[in-house]
């Protein structure tokens, strides 16, 4: 066990000694609503292309089903879950934007 620990430690040592600095991917955001907005914005930017690829894949499933009931059922299920995931993603983003607007109006 000690041998494996030393092996892992020797592998990670150059990374620990690195003097590089990394920029904050969220920018200068320091408040919680701003952080949530940035995270949801990143999720939407990543999620929309993924959802688009999933819909294209579902179309491929429908085309290759060729009327076979089991494959058509699988394609319909995949389409349903893709649309549910996309709706949850956009719903979370919309809810975040709406709540942020309300809180901003209340705060003045």
Q: DSSP readout, the chain?
A: -HHHHHHHHHHHHHHHT-------TTTT--SHHHHHHHHHHHHHHHHHHHHHHHHHHHHHHHHHHTT-HHHHHHHHHHHHHHHHHHHHHHHHHHHHHHHHHHHHHHH-
Q: Which residues does the chain have with pLDDT short of 50?
A: none
Domain boundaries, the chain: 31-107
Write out pLDDT tens, residues 25-40. Answer: 667 766 777 777 788 8
Per-residue model confidence (pLDDT) at position 81? 96
Per-residue model confidence (pLDDT) at position 100? 79
**pTM for the complete prediction?**
0.65
């Amino acid at each position: 066990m000690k041998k494996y620990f030393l092996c892992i430690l020797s592998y990670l040592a150059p990374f620990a000694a690195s003097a590089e600095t990394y920029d904050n991917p969220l920018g200068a955001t320091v408040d919680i609503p701003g952080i949530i907005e940035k995270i949801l914005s990143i999720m939407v930017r990543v999620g929309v292309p993924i959802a688009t690829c999933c819909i294209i894949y579902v179309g491929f499933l429908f085309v290759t089903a060729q009327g076979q009931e089991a494959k058509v059922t699988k394609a319909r299920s995949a389409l349903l879950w893709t649309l549910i995931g996309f709706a949850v993603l956009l719903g979370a983003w919309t809810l975040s934007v709406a709540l942020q607007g309300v809180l901003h109006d209340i705060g003045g």
